[in-house]
Structure 1
Amino acid sequence: MFLRPARLKTIKNELFDKLDELLAHIRKLDLLLENMAAITTAGASTLENDSSIIEALIFLAQRVQEGQKVDYEYLLRMARQLERLQEESLGTRTDLKEIQQILRALPQLLQRSTPAPNERLDVSAQPLRQIGVPPLEYSAYDSTEVELMAYLYTFLPSRIALDVGANVGDISKRLLEVGYQVFAFEPYQPAFEQLKQRIGDNENFHPFQLALGPSDTTMQLHIARDLSATGVYKDVTLYSSLLRHPMPADLHFVEAVDVPVRSLASLHRSAEVPATVGLLKIDAEGFDIEVIRGMDTHRYPVVTTEYWDEQMVFAPTNDANRLDRQVAEMRRRGYYWHIVIHRDEGRNDVGFYCNSPRSIASSWGNIFFFQSHDIFSQAFQWCSASLPQTLIASEPTAS
């Protein structure tokens, strides 16, 4: 719906009043119009109602109540632009969208000007809107996580990425497009052949037909088959695993093949993988924590893994892939910040939260671990602008 002039004027006046009240408590910041350009480029979403205005004002009030500083001069420019739009041509769909984009930018700007909290309820709860990036068709990591990896490329000290569990190369392909040099590991022969056929001629791509684990050995890779009448699982090679874990009724492990297993430490020692790595992505279908253990003393700025809540169908006999187990393992290695991008079983809704070892019941998703708070902050800003944030309540205390 469209905003009536009287309502828009009232909101504008309220915003000016709030800004005047803040004047004695806030300071000017740099990057005023540049922030608006960055937000617009990132694809700030628009809504065809006035909820974004209310949400922006709520967010502002919360930040004021918490005593956090905001960019007063930028907000003043925003309000003046709102006034100009009202005076010039109020009522067209284009103007409404522009107004809402300005107001939708407010939470993102305020987030940029304050330290990232560990856990915060995102009052705008805006959905992810991919701009010009097709979703990955079949992967435990969908385009949400992959675009975060792509975004972090700018901030990493090394362009080397390790894609553990590369499958047919969806993620490797996107990382190469961004500028990473990719070392990809896929043990299953049919998937590995597709991987090489798709991107094997790229000089920045280095494929290995290997599984990764805690040590160098040979293990059985369990191969899944889709038994559903309609082919629900599409590419079953995604479910191959070194760990024989529970499966859905219509998806079974039907055979096992021997595959070579190497540790990351061994690959570094032999110089098959460079000593300096920017990103380690792991998707080992329940074996992720064993890949981590194979790091030995090696550390990478960003490590991503998959997790399953204990109520997930894959998880009842595999607590190693639980979120809390992986967080504990990584904290022992100096990764003190993490972001969880989660989905509920049977649903496609995506959300995120930070630095909690607790998983949402029946959820699954991916964890981004960070050694540096600076890189964590960049990832947090990206998630805040792209995903609804989930509030994780504290554990109940005994009375």
Structure 2
Amino acid sequence: MRHSLVPADIQLRWRVWQSLRHGEPELALLPELVDPQRVAIDVGANAGVWSWSLLRATREVHAFEPNPKMYSRLEAALGGKVHLHTVALSDTTGEAEFIVPKTRRGYSNQHGSLSRLGTNGEHGIVRVKTCRLDDMDIRNVGFMKVDVEGFECAVLAGATETLRRERPVLVVELEERHTGRPIADLITEVESYGYAGSAWFNGRLTPWRDIDLKTFHTEAVETPRYVFNFVFRPLKD
């Protein structure tokens, strides 16, 4: 009922406000992280919180969301304002099974992924098109946010040429629980593309090695102190 009565753009603004206050403080860093003259890419756009915020920080946004239900909401809220893509970014181009968890209220809008790791209980499967970001040949990329529930490293593997050519700032969600891999291994894999990683901690961006990730990641899942978004800046040549 709420979705039918409240305009999509108003719903999205409410979500942005909630995320800033209770979810992802990194959104407030966008003026610092985003070059307003370059293109931003939102991988795993979901409801569009990051896409909406990026529109206020830069001139052009590409949003990728393969979940048909969430894509329709994106289109209602941001159609004509951002470049919307229904494909799932990956390290291969073709088709794949997109896993959507099921809750007591039906299929979830959240946590859909190409990764089967962490899939527990009942879930649905949607066949989706996949594509490497490199095959999209998007130019002048200055920023990328990647949040695809454990499939982040595959997305970056399909974007190696883009990362080498464009050197964008990255914000990547990395979680042990979605990958089965130690968080330090995930971070160093992203850094291997020529980046230095940090995270928002104690009110500032902090080098990840200065954070006790056992305490604030591994043991802090779903608590207010949980660190899961990592900012990667390109190293200077």
Q: Over aligned residues, Cα RMSD in angstroms? A: 2.9
**Which residue does the alignment assign to 1:339?**
198
Q: Does the alignment pair 1:291 with 2:151?
A: no
**Which residue does the alignment assign to 1:329?**
189
TM-score computed with the length of structure 1 as normaliser: 0.47
Q: Distance in 1 between matches of 2:17 and 2:204?
A: 19
Cα separation, partners in 2 of 1:259 and 1:332, compared to 1, 3 Å: same
Cα separation, partners in 2 of 1:247 and 1:351, compared to 1, 3 Å: farther
Residue 295 of structure 1, CA deviation: 1.2
Q: Which amino acid aligns with 2:219?
A: S
Residue 172 of structure 1, CA deviation: 0.5
**Aligned positions of 1:306-325 closer than 5 A:** 306-309=173-176, 314-315=177-178, 318-320=179-181, 322-325=182-185
| Aligned residues with identical type, % of pairs | 24
Is contact 2:33-2:143 (8 Å) kept?
no
Where is the strand percentage greater, Structure 1 or Structure 2?
A: 2
Q: Does the alignment pair 1:136 with 2:19?
A: yes
**Which residue does the alignment assign to 1:201?**
80
Match of 1:368 among 226, 231, 234: 231
**Which residue does the alignment assign to 1:210?**
87
Q: Distance in 1 between matches of 2:75 and 2:29?
A: 25
**Which residue does the alignment assign to 1:177?**
56
Q: Distance in 1 between matches of 2:20 and 2:115?
A: 24
Q: Distance in 2 between matches of 1:244 and 1:293?
A: 18
Q: Distance in 2 between matches of 1:187 and 1:220?
A: 10
Cα separation, partners in 2 of 1:168 and 1:255, compared to 1, 3 Å: same
Q: Counterpart of 1:340 in 2: which secondary structure?
A: strand
Match of 2:113 among 241, 246, 260: 241
**Which residue does the alignment assign to 2:32?**
151
Q: Which amino acid aligns with 2:19?
A: L
Residue 181 of structure 1, CA deviation: 1.1
Q: Distance in 1 between matches of 2:112 and 2:50?
A: 17
**Largest Rg, 1 or 2:** 1
Is contact 2:97-2:126 (8 Å) kept?
yes
Q: Distance in 2 between matches of 1:262 and 1:327?
A: 23
Residue 351 of structure 1, CA deviation: 7.5
Residue 258 of structure 1, CA deviation: 0.7
Residue 149 of structure 1, CA deviation: 2.1
Q: Distance in 1 between matches of 2:184 and 2:115?
A: 19
Q: Which amino acid aligns with 2:213?
A: S
Q: Does the alignment pair 1:303 with 2:170?
A: yes
Q: Distance in 2 between matches of 1:280 and 1:176?
A: 13
Please list every run of 5 or more consecutive structure 2 residues that lacks an aligned counterpart in the other structure. 1-15, 221-226
Cα separation, partners in 2 of 1:328 and 1:263, compared to 1, 3 Å: same
**Which residue does the alignment assign to 1:282?**
146
**Aligned positions of 1:63-82 closer than 5 A:** none
Is contact 1:324-1:358 (8 Å) kept?
no
TM-score computed with the length of structure 2 as normaliser: 0.77
Q: Distance in 2 between matches of 1:264 and 1:282?
A: 12
Residue 217 of structure 1, CA deviation: 1.8
**Which residue does the alignment assign to 1:353?**
206
Q: Number of aligned residue pairs: give it.
A: 208
Residue 264 of structure 1, CA deviation: 1.0
Q: Distance in 2 between matches of 1:173 and 1:181?
A: 11
Cα separation, partners in 2 of 1:148 and 1:161, compared to 1, 3 Å: same
Is contact 2:153-2:190 (8 Å) kept?
no
Please list every run of 5 or more consecutive structure 1 residues that lacks an aligned counterpart in the other structure. 1-132, 343-348, 374-399
Q: Distance in 1 between matches of 2:73 and 2:87?
A: 15
**Which residue does the alignment assign to 1:49?**
none
Is contact 1:138-1:235 (8 Å) kept?
no
